[in-house]
Structure formats: C-alpha cells, structure tokens
Amino acid sequence: MKTIHVSTTVNGDAAEFICGPDESLLDVLRNRLGLTGAKEGCGTGDCGACSVMLDGRLVCSCLVLGAEAEGVTVDTIEGLAEGDHLHPLQQSFIDHAALQCGVCTPGILVAAKALLDRNPDPTETEVRYWLAGNLCRCTGYDKIIHAVMDAAKTMRAA
C-alpha cells in the first residue's frame, strides 16, 4: 500500500512520519511516534481514552487519520505538563484520588483541559456532560468531577 509522508507539530515540536492512508492518528502516535499516553479502549469512538487535540479541537484520535495531521498541531497528554511542573488538572487528579487504574486518565485530562480552555467556570452538570464521551469503569466519576471542578477553581484564582 502506498504510504503518505506527513509533517506536523506534536506538543509544540515539529514531527514527521510516514503512515498508511488508512492508519489512524492514534496508531501513528502510539506506534510511530512512541507517544503511548493516548490509549485505545475501543477504536470506534465510544470511550474517549484516545482523546487528543487536533488543531485545537478535541478529537478521538482513533477516528482521525494520521494523514489529517498534515500541517496542523497535535497536542497529547505528554504535552500537558510543562517540564516537571504538572498542569493544575494533573495535580488535582492526584490530590483528589481521581484515578484508580488510570487508563482513562490521559483521555479525561485532555478532554477536561479542552473544557476549561473554553469554559473556565463550568457547573457540575456541564462537566458531567462534557466528559460523557470519556468512559471510566473504576471510579464512578465522582472524584473525577470533583477534581475538574477544583482545578477550574485553582486556575481561575491564578
């Protein structure tokens, strides 16, 4: 099969890769760029574990083609912290015990950041609906919602 050469920006750095025309962005990130933070929970857009930002939009990377990254920016969980300085959402998830197994956590953090970027003061209901596409089987969501609300508060105060 003919491969495609793609030039893109991942977490602020220029990146290049070759991929198949039917290869998902998730597979490219995980298998070609070594960024295994985004997880495949379903491969069909139903779990949100693969959430990344594509050109500032929250997407399920399992539903995006690697080729679509050409010329745009991709932001993943690996780019959320600045060096050894955790993002307030990351710190809040640790402080609130908002993860058990943690496999949903990268996707939920990316999605939660996308929410707070557009709505710094969401209601609990807004958080619950925004994260409705991110499945977590361990926590019952309670501590996740708290952690997001609390991080939003911290970020508003900063």
Catalog residues that contact ligand FES under the rule CB under 6 A: 40-43, 45-50, 60, 62, 99-104, 136-139
**In the complex, what is the shortest distance from the CB of residue 76 to other proteins, in angstroms, rounded to a whole number?**
7
Instruction: Based on the shown chain and the rule CB under 8 A, indicate whether residue 1 belongs to the binding site for other proteins.
Output: yes
Instruction: Based on the shown chain and the rule CB under 8 A, indicate whether residue 47 belongs to the binding site for other proteins.
Output: yes
Strands 4-10 and 13-19: antiparallel
Question: Interface with other proteins by CB under 8 A: which range of 2-10, 113-121, 131-139, 150-158?
Answer: 131-139
Q: Are 33 and 10 in contact (CB under 8 A)?
A: yes
Instruction: Based on the shown chain and the rule CB under 8 A, indicate whether residue 152 belongs to the binding site for other proteins.
Output: no
Instruction: Based on the shown chain and the rule CB under 8 A, indicate whether residue 58 belongs to the binding site for other proteins.
Output: no
> Could you say which of other proteins, ligand FES, none residue 141 binds, taking C-beta under 5 to 8 angstroms by partner kind?
other proteins
What angle (nearest 5°) sits at the alpha carbon of residue 141, between those of residues 122 and 132? 60
Measured between alpha carbons, how far is residue 75 from residues 23, 27, 56, 111, 150 in Å? 18, 15, 8, 11, 23
E strand map for 21-121: 51-54, 57-60, 73-75
Q: Which of 4, 63, 103, 149 binds other proteins (CB under 8 A)?
A: 103
